[in-house]
Amino acid sequence: MKGRVDESGRAIIEVTIAASTDGPCHVIETWIDTGFTGDLVVPRNIVDRLALRQTGTIDGILADGTQVLLETYHCEIQWFGKCRSLEVIANDGEMPLLGIGMLLAKELRIDYTNLTLSLTPSPRNET
C-alpha cells in the first residue's frame, strides 16, 4: 500500500471501509498514529454517514491521561486485498486514526524527503 506525508508531516494512508460486506464502500484518509494501540478510530460524522452498527462501549485513556467511555462500531475494511471485519472506535475528532493494531506484521517506511510512505507485509511474516 502506498501513502503520503502531508504538509504537517503526518503519515496518511487510504482505507476502504463499509458497514457490511455487501454495502457501499467509501475511501477514507487515515493518519497513522503509532501512539494508538488499537486498530482504527473513525470520527462520528463518518460513522453516521456510513450507518455503522454500534456494538458496545470500551474504556479508553486519551493522550493527556483522561479516562473516557468510547462507543464501538462494526465495519468491514479492505486490507491488503482481503475483507477484514473490525470493531472501530468513534470519536469527535476530524480525522480517522490508524493504530498499531493494523500495523502488526507489516513494514512501514516513511520517506520525509519525498513525502511518501509504503506499508507492506513484513518479509518475515506475510499475513
**What CATH number should be reported for the domain holding residue 116?**
2.40.70.10
Distance CA 78, CA 82 (A): 6
Under DSSP, the state recorded for 24 is P
In a domain, 89, yes or no: yes
Could you read off the pLDDT of 18-52 as tens digits, one per residue?
999 888 889 999 999 999 999 999 999 999 999 99
Question: Pick the residue with more confidence: 15 or 21?
Answer: 15
Question: Per-residue pLDDT for 97 more than 50?
Answer: yes
Question: Pick the residue with more confidence: 110 or 93?
Answer: 110
Q: How many folded domains does the chain comprise?
A: 1
Band of residue 123 on the pLDDT scale cut at 50, 70, 90: confident
Distance CA 90, CA 47 (A): 7
In a domain, 31, yes or no: yes
Give mean pLDDT, residues 106-110. 96
pTM for this structure? Answer: 0.89
Range of the domain at 74: 2-121
In a domain, 127, yes or no: no
Do 104 and 37 touch, CB atoms closer than 8 A?
no
